[in-house]
Amino acid sequence: MTAPTTETPLSREAAAMLMAPPPKSKEEYFARFAKTWKVLRVGSFPEDEALDRSRAERTFERGLNPAGVGRQLRAVLASGSRKERLGTVKAPTLVVHGTVDPLVRPEGGKDTAASVAGAKLVMIEGMGHALPIPMWPQIIDAIDKHAHGAAAKAA
């Protein structure tokens, strides 16, 4: 996750979601899970929404660590800019980013790609901060082409 900058603020809804107190019950967790992913997906994706309950159940059964979520957010915000270090990346780099991402605005994805020499940027129209099922073919194709291109260059 890239730290948000003043140029790429979180959406109000995404910020509220991140700052909300942890759910107090299993049912509240399931409702929050669905709401969170609706915010992250930015829009209606019925195929994904139909899976929210079963995904939430698996996540709940695996165990939750609400304090860990807060620690991760504080670590991201405290770590500051990693932009200078991106310039040292030598590996073939593909940045896949959504055009409507409410957590890391599109400018953040563009800036990340511009900061890595030779990086390829793929902006997925209508994608937020999630990988909705209807967008999988486009994402998989981009990764496949990138991986094969990198392999061909290495050979």
pLDDT digit string (tens) for 63-113? 988 778 778 878 888 888 889 999 999 999 999 999 999 988 999 999 999
Cross-strand bridge partners of residue 123: 97
CB pairs under 8 A, 24+ apart, for 136-143? 139/96, 142/94, 142/96, 143/94, 143/96
Q: Is the pLDDT of residue 122 over 80?
A: yes
pLDDT tens per residue across span 30-71: 999 999 999 999 989 999 999 999 999 999 999 988 778 778
pLDDT grade for 16, boundaries at 50, 70 and 90:
confident
Determine the pLDDT at residue 68.
Answer: 83
The model's pTM is: 0.82
Q: Is the pLDDT of residue 150 over 90?
A: no
Determine the pLDDT at residue 9.
Answer: 63
Map tokens 């700052």 to a residue: 19
Determine the pLDDT at residue 18.
Answer: 79
